[in-house]
Amino acid sequence: MKNTCKHTKTKNDERVYCFTAPVAVYPYTEENRAAHGNICYDEICCECGATRAVLQNGSHYEFAPWGPSAAELKRREEEKKERAREAAEKLEDAAMQARDAKVVEVTPKREGYSKMVVIKMGGERKAVALYKIKEAAAQKDDGDGLVPFYRAVMRHAQEWERKEEDKYARSY
Ligand SMILES: [Zn+2]
């Protein structure tokens, strides 16, 4: 979405830094060497939240072009993280499919026993202690596909438990 705000009413962020580098981006804004060497701060638009870096030295100013608001930058950052998480989960699921594996049950924790995850793999059922899966999933990924596999198993075990809880909740 294009920002059509003219940024007429602004305030200066109270965080003030020492000058480190020019902020102007030609041809959008012009460098002003007289403004170099002293302080730098962000100017924030009161209407739309857009920000720009400002260098000030006495009565001399240099401006960066107006950029996205802090909220918008945060939103973009979160979107990026979400996409990275989705990509990772896709790889993890592929590692599970490659082993023809499926989480079919998570046994409840009982006194003296650890929670077990029952995995159906190539037609066989294997019960693995959840803490062992957690340990394996937390290893450094050396590229053999095992870490993504165990991460997928953990996530599917959590999903399985969530579904069971929902079923239980609905039956009352
Ligand atoms: Zn604005």
> Rounded to the nearest whole angstrom, what is the distance from the C-alpha of residue 151 to the centroid of ligand 1?
44
Does 65 lie in the same domain as 141?
A: no
Q: How far apart are CA 36 and CA 23, in angstroms?
A: 10
Does 160 lie in the same domain as 107?
A: yes
> Rounded to the nearest whole angstrom, what is the distance from the C-alpha of residue 14 to the centroid of ligand 1?
18
Which residues lie across from 101 on neighbouring strands?
Answer: 121
Ramachandran bin of 7, using left for φ above 0, alpha for ψ from -120 to 50, beta for the remaining angles: left
Q: Would 1 be classed as within a structural domain?
A: no
Q: What is the pLDDT of residue 113?
A: 82
pLDDT above 70 for 171: yes
- What 3-state DSSP class applies to 13? strand
Per DSSP (E only), the strands in the chain are 10-18, 39-45, 51-57, 60-63, 101-106, 116-121, 124-129
> Rounded to the nearest whole angstrom, what is the distance from the C-alpha of residue 8 to the centroid of ligand 1?
7
Q: Would 15 be classed as within a structural domain?
A: yes
User: Comparing 90 with 109, which gets the higher pLDDT?
Assistant: 90
Does 160 lie in the same domain as 92?
A: yes
Q: Quickly state the pLDDT bin for 1 (edges 50, 70, 90).
A: low
27 by Cβ neighbours in 10 Å (0-12 / 13-18 / 19+) ranks as exposed
Does 105 lie in the same domain as 53?
A: no
Q: Which helix (H) or strand (E) holds 51?
A: strand 51-57
> Rounded to the nearest whole angstrom, what is the distance from the C-alpha of residue 168 to the centroid of ligand 1?
51
Rounded to 5 degrees, φ, ψ at 4 are: -100, 5
Does 118 lie in the same domain as 50?
A: no
pLDDT tens-digit profile of 143-169?
A: 888 999 999 999 999 999 999 989 888
> Rounded to the nearest whole angstrom, what is the distance from the C-alpha of residue 68 to the centroid of ligand 1?
10
pLDDT above 80 for 3: no
> Rounded to the nearest whole angstrom, what is the distance from the C-alpha of residue 139 to the centroid of ligand 1?
47
pLDDT tens-digit profile of 8-65?
A: 999 999 999 999 999 999 999 999 999 999 999 999 999 999 999 999 999 999 999 9
Q: What is the pLDDT of residue 112?
A: 80
> Rounded to the nearest whole angstrom, what is the distance from the C-alpha of residue 52 to the centroid of ligand 1?
10
> Rounded to the nearest whole angstrom, what is the distance from the C-alpha of residue 116 to the centroid of ligand 1?
56
Write out the residue range of the structural domain in which residue 64 sits. Answer: 10-70
> Rounded to the nearest whole angstrom, what is the distance from the C-alpha of residue 35 to the centroid of ligand 1?
24
Q: Would 77 be classed as within a structural domain?
A: no
Q: What is the pLDDT of residue 108?
A: 84
